[in-house]
Amino acid sequence: MAERDGSGRKILGSSSSDSSPVVDSASGAPTRSVLGRSTTGAVSFDPDHSAGGPARGQSGGSAVLRRDRQKRKPGIKTLVLIVVASLVFIPVGLFTLGWFQFSKIPTVNVSAVLSPRGSRSGTNYLIVGTDSRAGIDVNDPNSGAFLSGEVSGSRTDTIMVLHVDGATTQLTSIPRDLWVTDPATGQKGRINSTFASGPSNLISAVQAMGIPVDQYLEINFVSFGRLVDAVGGITIDIPYPATDNQSGLSIVDAGPNRLNGTEALAYVRSRYYTELIDGKWRVDGTADIGRTDRQRTFLTALMREVAGERNPLQLFAIPGSLGAGMKRGSTFSYIDAIGLARTLKDASPETVVIPVTPRRTSGGADVLDLQPDARSVISGLAA
């Protein structure tokens, strides 16, 4: 039977089998038991003290929240792993995507005719712009930049050599009217006609001039235009207002002009380039020589835009914009392309002019011959 105190209330923590009530020494009255503690001072079982329960005097909800917060809080190891994963996987992913896009560019097997390295320190890239009209929309309001004139077979409209030797870059144009011996036929003719027998034949014709060829790149008019548009246009400084009704060129204002793909090609293909100088329209009398100058200006501006592009989406769009209109030599790899882009990023290629003399053949063709001092210029490209 439970014991009661002097007022008749039950004494908690006591039973009939317990010892006599503990008496307060000061008052003489029996002491009241404290919940959870026996009269002997031993701690009784308290459910809140069981494993996982909050300490006495704590709110159970706040303790749980504190434990959950500690569990959710990322540790230093987790943060390090996230940073390392970002530094590794993002560049690898971008590299892989770039390689996939680059792999779509068709290749041309010209490895058998490329020049041996020997003791040369420089690398020559033969860049060829072809006059293929495939893929051009006849409804384009400026299609005259592409479709004017009759073209039989396949010829090169632009032939350039980019020479890279360390931080030094040089760009030279080979006039399409240069009179050479065709390696395939042994007959004399314009150098652009050697392309009719294939890229390897053109490479051999360039090598016969004394210029080594280490890599080969080919692009047609359509892809040139798409590439210009893919980088958002190119800026060319044009000294005078200019026009060419045959190519569709129409430049109203002198100075820096931002050209889109169609406008840039009308500029680079112009054969009847006419300028407004001192209030009078004057036809450029340099003919093919002036045209090669404009080609160098165009390509330099285009390379600067491509190499300077930092937007990943724009960079990945470039190979896709070229479609099948660009071809690369079978030895020109993705790593080669990255290396070339890094070289050209802050470069401004030096213009190298091959001295030529115009003349008319016995058959009435207007052609160009190499001048004697062209040898010294060409030897610099063979270093």
Q: What is the pLDDT of residues 137-193, one digit of tens each?
A: 555 444 444 555 444 455 677 899 999 998 899 999 999 999 999 999 999 999 999
Span 51-62, average pLDDT: 51
CATH for 104-381 is 3.40.630.190
Cα 145 to Cα 131, 138, 219, 243, 245: the distances in Å are 11, 11, 16, 12, 9
Directed axis angle between helix 334-344 and helix 76-102, to 10°? 100
Sequence-ordered list of residues with C-beta below 8 angstroms from that of 147, at least 6 positions apart, any chain = 133, 136, 138
User: What's the predicted TM-score (pTM) here?
Assistant: 0.68
**253 is written with which tokens?**
């204002």
Q: What is the pLDDT of residues 353-367, one digit of tens each?
A: 999 999 999 989 999
pLDDT value of residue 311: 65
Residue 134 has pLDDT above 80, yes or no: no
**Percentage of the chain exceeding pLDDT 90:** 39
Residue indicated by tokens 């050479």: 180
Q: Which of 23-27, 34-38, 223-227, 245-249 has the least mean pLDDT?
A: 34-38
The structural domains of the chain, with segments of one domain joined by +, span 1-42, 104-381
**Percentage of the chain exceeding pLDDT 70:** 66
Task: Measure the CA–CA gap between 11 and 178, rounded to whole angstroms.
Answer: 122
Query: In which band, very low, low, confident or very high, does the pLDDT at 319 lie, cut at 50, 70 and 90?
Result: low
Residue 377 has pLDDT above 50, yes or no: yes
Span 8-17, average pLDDT: 52
Residue 46 has pLDDT above 60, yes or no: no
Residue 294 has pLDDT above 70, yes or no: yes
Q: Identify any residues that bridge with 165 across adjacent strands, giving them in sequence order.
A: 168
Most confident of 20-24, 292-296, 316-320: 292-296
On average, the pLDDT of the chain sits at 78
Task: Measure the CA–CA gap between 362 and 263, rounded to whole angstroms.
Answer: 37
Span 114-125, average pLDDT: 94
pLDDT value of residue 64: 56
